[in-house]
């Protein structure tokens, strides 16, 4: 397929610049994959308030949440010449060595030192990679406390406003530090809503996938199959695997919250000897790239925000629901003036 098939026009004013006042009060668009005959009237789409999601998930179903936590991965430093350097820490490759995006990458030199927090710590440019990143070796090597003190939450570039409360770019269940972007489909849940789902008998499983460069890197090749995904760390615990596997044995549905949860689940998914989908208890790095034609093994429903044109997330969602169906749903959301992207409204695809 061509990347141009995943283009669409979005008026700039529909890009949400700040969170909605109450997390669970956003619009929620319901898509039924069994009936894609929207037609011009969009009669088969259903619009509700997000907290009404409890009406669509049944007792015994499993809600899979990505409990990754966004780190303050944006660092502002100075070269010894006085020039400004901005780093986005992507992932730690070794003790004190971080793969990073740097601006301006072309100006900084190998073995050059960059000073942060008025010299409280520094980083040496060890390597420039073919992928447009660089490796920075920090002194001292353990910078996690330092970035908590001096780093900033890395908001997406389409958000131009400063965030008054950084916690609004974290899910209420964020726990495992390591992401450079939030799993935004989960931003709509409140603790009260999760309790309500639990009381209904819905099982909740927590897994981790640290959203990295792969999450926001757009497809540049016209043939989408030529795109290469950057690896992202995932961890599917034994407890989560047991909950998901039991639900599959019982014929219950798996609701993935966000494309990151989908990638983790499908990475560890397999068919057992009786042909029943199961997941492995496993951790590692996944470069799984899902595009139309992919056969989903584990997920039965997907909660996801609206995604950027030509993004791997939009391509994944289209693989799950169908390219034409998603195109129609996006057009409906634009006509209805939905809020888009990280702080925007979600859709539930069943």
Strand 232-236 with 282-286, pairing: antiparallel
Answer whether 19's CB lies under 8 Å from 337's CB. Answer: no
In the 8-state DSSP scheme, what is residue 332?
H
Closest by Cα among 52, 2, 123 to 303: 52
pTM of the model: 0.94
1.10.565.10, 3.30.70.20, 3.40.50.970, 3.40.1780.10: CATH of 3-70+165-349: 3.40.1780.10
pLDDT of 136 reads: 97
Please name which of 70, 287, 65 lies closest in space to residue 179, comparing C-alpha atoms. Answer: 70
Q: What is the pLDDT of residues 121-173, one digit of tens each?
A: 999 999 999 888 999 999 999 999 999 999 999 999 999 998 989 999 999 99
**100 contacts 134 by C-beta, under 8 angstroms:** yes
Query: Cis (ω within 30 of 0) for the bond into 140?
Result: yes
Are 70 and 170 a contacting pair, CB within 8 Å?
A: yes
Nearest alpha carbon to residue 265 among 156, 175, 183:
183
What per-residue confidence (pLDDT) applies to 44? 67
In angstroms and rounded to an integer, the radius of gyration of the C-alpha atoms of the chain is 21
Rounded CA gap, 189 and 50, in Å?
Answer: 8
pLDDT of amino acid 279: 98
- In this structure, what token pair is assigned to residue 12? 């700039």
Cβ count near 158 (within 10 Å): 14
Reference 347, options 265, 327, 172; nearest CA is 327
Length of the chain: 350
Write down the pLDDT at residue 45: 82
For residue 269, give the nearest of 304, 230, 295 by alpha carbon: 295
Q: What is the pLDDT of residue 42?
A: 53
Phi, psi of 347 (to 5 degrees): -130, 150
Domain boundaries, the chain: 3-70+165-349, 74-150
Q: Does domain 74-150 have CATH number 2.40.10.240?
A: yes
d(CA 138, CA 144) in angstroms, rounded, equals 11
In DSSP notation, 148-166 reads: HHH-B----TT--SPPS-G
> CA-CA-CA-CA torsion for 200, 182, 309, 43, nearest 10 degrees?
20
H-run or E-run covering 329: helix 323-335
pLDDT at residue 36, as a whole number: 58
Q: Are 346 and 303 in contact (CB under 8 A)?
A: yes
Half-sphere exposure of residue 138: CA atoms within 13 angstroms, side-chain side: 27
- What is the predicted pLDDT for the residue at 345? 98
Q: What are the residue ranges in the chain where pLDDT is below 50? A: 38-41, 43
């Amino acid at each position: 397929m061509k990347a141009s098939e995943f283009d669409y026009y979005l008026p700039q004013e529909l890009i949400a610049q700040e969170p909605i006042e109450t997390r669970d009060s956003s619009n929620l668009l319901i898509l039924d994959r069994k009936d894609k005959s929207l037609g011009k009237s969009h009669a088969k789409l259903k619009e509700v308030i997000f907290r009404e999601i409890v009406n669509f998930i049944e007792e015994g179903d499993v809600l899979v949440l990505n409990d990754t936590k966004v780190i303050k991965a944006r660092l502002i430093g100075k070269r010894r010449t006085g020039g400004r350097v901005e780093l986005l820490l992507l992932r730690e490759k070794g003790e004190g060595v971080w793969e990073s995006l740097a601006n301006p990458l072309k100006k900084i030199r190998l073995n050059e030192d960059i000073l942060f927090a008025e010299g409280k710590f520094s980083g040496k440019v060890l390597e420039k990679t073919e992928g447009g990143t660089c490796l920075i070796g920090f002194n001292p090597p353990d910078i996690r406390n330092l970035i908590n003190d001096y780093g900033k939450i890395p908001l997406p570039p389409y958000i131009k406003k400063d965030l008054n409360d950084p916690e609004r770019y974290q899910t209420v269940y964020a726990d495992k530090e390591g992401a450079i972007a939030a799993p935004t489909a989960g931003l709509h849940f409140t603790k009260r809503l999760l309790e309500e789902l639990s009381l209904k008998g819905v099982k909740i499983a927590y897994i981790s996938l640290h959203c990295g460069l792969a999450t926001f890197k757009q497809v540049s090749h016209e043939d989408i199959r030529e795109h290469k995904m950057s690896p992202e760390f995932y961890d599917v615990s034994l407890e989560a695997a047991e909950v998901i596997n039991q639900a599959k044995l019982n014929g219950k549905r798996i609701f993935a919250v966000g494309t990151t949860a989908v990638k983790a689940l499908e990475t560890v998914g397999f068919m057992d000897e009786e042909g029943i989908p199961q997941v492995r208890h496993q951790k590692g790095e996944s470069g799984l790239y899902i595009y139309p034609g992919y056969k989903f093994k584990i997920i039965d429903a997907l909660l996801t925000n609206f995604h950027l044109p030509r993004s791997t997330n939009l391509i994944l969602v289209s693989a799950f629901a169908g390219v034409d169906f998603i195109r129609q749903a996006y057009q409906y959301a634009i006509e209805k003036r939905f809020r888009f992207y990280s702080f925007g409204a979600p859709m539930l695809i069943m």
